[in-house]
Amino acid sequence: MFRKILIANRGEIALRIIQACRELGIPTVAVYATADRDSLHVTYADEEVCIGPPPSGQSYLNISALVSAAEITGADAIHPGYGFLAENAHFAEVLAECNLAWIGPPPEVIRRMGDKAAARRTAVEAGVPVLPGSGEPLASLSEARQLAAGVGFPVILKAAAGGGGRGMRIVRSEAELDKSFETASHEALKAFGDGSIYLEKYLEEPRHIEFQVFGDSHGNVIHLGERECSIQRRHQKIIEEAPSPALTPELREKMGEASVRLCQHVGYQNAGTIEYLLDHDGSFYFMEMNTRIQVEHPVTEMVTGVDLVKLQIAIAAGERLTIPSGLRHRGHAIECRINAEDPRTFAPSPGRLTTFHLPGGPGVRVDTHGYEDYVVPPHYDSLVAKLIAHGNDREEAIARMKRALDFFVIEGIRTIIPLHREILRDPVFRSGRFSTRFMEGFQGRRAAEAKDQ
């Protein structure tokens, strides 16, 4: 096992990793930008190192500073969390050259599965269904036109080198294609340093289903079931749950087998997520793979009882997977992302937390780095907390989440807690029959109700 782990991240995920290391008896090193000097991950780590000013490029994305921090503190492993450098193959290679362990998949796998076009080819090789589209990044607008005509509109343009909705455009006609192609490419170049774009057939109202996978260095691969991620705004997830209300046992088995097959094909190690689009007829299509731990991993932890972060660390240390394939799930779990945003306009709302009261009670978990008097900085993502509720079934999980949201009090900034309360009361959400376009319909219903009042 590792002597000391440096956490190359911030916020709630850094604190979550510290908690796992504390249970394993492994000392931790927190790195921080000056804006995070008073963050809880700095407080609770065994050691801390300031790595630069607030801009991410000068701190959390500064590979030289991170390696230096590991060397001066004697850390022998680095956990990247999610975001920042978590899916950066070059960073993983640098660590190997410096004799530092990387708590994640091998760099060649990150590179292969992180590039969407390459990942699509790999899925085809493994016999996993993919949407009709380009197998390679598009060479030109004329190629995009020809391909779109072949698969039929609507289509979607996606950045080959990234995700999170950036470099992504839905195109419903050839007239839209010219402008969208240029815009998506420019946005991808700005966000990921690579303007490559590929094209796929666009499904009008699919569900977004992801499977949690793990592999070890001994050739063992398992999946720990799915998460429903269809409640999202501009391709950014808002609410996640497990199990998905849409999956039958037969479909779950089929999608799980495809996920394991793909991981075996690439020799996958550590934590990862296979993401699918699920059509209304039960057809599913590989979308992408995230080669890291996910923001929503607590949902799976609540229904399986498995600590995914501790499992990551054990696998990186060379241990075998001891969890049986087909682990039985218990009950239902839902996660609400509590972002520092206006619940109506979604404008960021950084600032000081004047009141911060956490909910509790049966089946409730809160992952957060917030506390009363903490200042949410404007430099990073707006996630303040993750609120997770678990129940014997979906109805009880929703009831517990509603209760937890009512008892979660944050003052001094705006958060999307009021939005979550509204979503959980929405009849379409409660029915479980929704798609990735849920938020469009929900906001329309909300506007109509406001007009009638």
Q: Is the dihedral of CA 174, 179, 184, 185 positive or negative?
A: positive
Report the amino acid identity of residue 254: K
Residue with tokens 């490029």: 57
Give yes or no: 145 in active site: no
CA within 13 Å, CB half, 404: 29
Tell me how far apart the alpha carbons of residues 288 and 87 are, in angstroms, rounded to a whole number. 13
In which element (H, E) is residue 48 found? strand 47-52
Q: Report the half-sphere exposure of 198 (CA within 13 A, side-chain side).
A: 21
What whole-number distance in Å separates Cα of residue 254 and Cα of residue 129? 11
Q: How far apart are CA 246 and CA 229, in angstroms?
A: 11
Question: What's the CA gap between 212 and 348, in Å, rounded?
Answer: 30
Q: Pick the catalytic residue: 292, 337, 400, 414?
A: 292
How far is residue 184's CA from residue 190's CA, in Å, rounded to a whole number? 10
Burial 85-118 (b: 16+ CB within 10 A, else e): bbbbbebbbbbeeeebbbbbbbbebbbbbbbbbb
Q: Which residues of 219-250 are buried (b: 16+ CB within 10 A; e: fewer)?
A: ebbbbbbbbbbbbbbeeebbbbbbbbebbeee
Q: Which amino acid, residue 52?
A: G
* Catalytic (active-site) positions: 292
